[in-house]
């Protein structure tokens, strides 16, 4: 991922928030919160994961396809993104 430093920092911040949410689930389990409560937290993590995944896919598209330096790089970046989409959709 050779994205700009700024994008990288943003992504790392998101991953850290995600880790915080996971720790929240750990604490909720320790505190024997209700299944319903645990599942609400899991749903919230799932949403955050999807948002993060969309952002990384968008990064791949911008960096390695739209702003590719050569036509060869662009085709390679595009094939990688297709592979990524296929894997995700399975």
Residues 35, 55 contacting (CB under 8 angstroms): no
Counting contacts by CB under 8 A, is residue 44 touching a second copy? Answer: no
Alpha carbons 15 and 89: distance in angstroms, whole number:
22
Backbone CA torsion sign across 73, 75, 78, 83? negative
**What's the min distance (Å) between Cβ of 69 and a second copy?**
14
Give contact residues for a second copy (rule: CB under 8 A).
1-2, 8, 11-12, 15-16, 18-19, 22-23, 25-26, 28-30, 32-40, 42-43, 45-46, 49-54, 56-66, 74-75, 78, 80-90
């Amino acid at each position: 991922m050779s994205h700009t430093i700024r994008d990288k920092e943003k992504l790392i911040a998101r991953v850290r928030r995600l880790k915080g949410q996971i720790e929240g689930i750990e604490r909720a389990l320790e505190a024997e919160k209700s299944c319903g409560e645990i599942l609400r937290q899991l749903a919230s993590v799932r949403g955050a994961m999807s948002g993060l995944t969309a952002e990384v896919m968008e990064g791949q598209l911008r960096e390695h396809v739209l702003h590719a330096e050569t036509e060869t790089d662009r085709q390679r970046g595009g094939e990688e993104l297709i592979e990524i989409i296929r894997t995700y959709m399975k």
